[in-house]
Copies of this chain bind each other. A is one copy, B any other.
């Protein structure tokens, strides 16, 4: 081994190119290219020889050259638009990203990941990536009810998949079309199978411009309501996340539907929105508990707020689950380390990421525009939910 300083400084070894392989295998460059890309037009013998030499030399295609020549950058993009401070405690994104990469890296596709401050920056970044030909496609997260991104991406012709589902159904408070689905019945409005259905826009309109993978928040909310209603809860408040997000709207809508279905009073079963922070989660909880007839159960849209809410209850000496039941939407270590441990809606987030990546690859391969549904989350009942004490 050379001296450390020298090693760190020395010129990098030259990377082998196709030309090197061609020379060494005694064939032309184009033969090498064909051989290495599994294209017809080269004999088995030559192919094998070329492969062996490439292996020996440790050759890997120069991604820039490939991108310049072919049309593919060999990379996908993922932008997270969040103010730096709110880059929180959530395990959601890292898990999502890990699932995405499981699929992409198997195809030697890299992931460009960028955190920006806001939606405008995100759009600007898409434009730049597009102009620079940096990425072959992008995954759009945190879809909103009024989202400029699909239109932009469609206009740019940059393949994209929306992760997290289509926007909520239109501003229809009564939600007549999803009216009275009996539990378990595979309702026509919510296809359990992931078929591209542009014909059934009522409850879950496939996004008009981009393919979409999403979780069925409506059914998930129904499961939570089943659980709480079954325990005897009649005053249930949903502390939701950011009002602009599509899934927030879907959850709020679903809570209404489920409340109506059971003839519950809408003044006692409703949603309030927050910014997902522990601070707003705690604040909302305080307000609710101060009311004349406080809820007997609260559903939080993320784990951090749920834990914050549990903490507020503890401060006030309100027993959980005796006087207040708590459900967290999204499970994580947080829900298991608190005391009592929190009942949570468990999703397979890496699986969701894999699904999204697969769908993006499908779009790149010219697949049809469609809406794919992820696995339905299940409710993990723990110690924070129980039959409410009378009163």
Contact = CB atoms under 8 A, between A and B. Distances in A.
Interface stretch (A3-11, A141-149, A170-178): A3-11
A68 B64 contact: yes
Interface stretch (A18-26, A29-37, A86-94, A239-247): A86-94
A75 B60 CA distance: 18
Q: How large is the interface on A (under 10, 10 to 19, 20 to 34, 35 or more residues)?
A: 35 or more
Contacts of A58: 127, 131
A157 interface: yes
Interface stretch (A264-272, A290-298, A328-336): A328-336
A52 to B, nearest CB: 17
A128 B132 CA distance: 22
A111 interface: yes
Given A115-B98, A369-B5, A134 B63 contact: yes
B334 A311 contact: no
B62 A84 contact: no
Quick one: which of A4, A63, A105, A350 has the most chain B CB within 10 A?
A: A63
Contact of A115 (B101, B308, B311, B315): B101
Contacts of A111: 112-114
Nearest to A305: B337
Nearest to A5: B369
Contacts of A5: 208, 369
Given A115-B98, A154-B7, A339-B315, A132 B61 contact: yes
Contacts of A99: 84
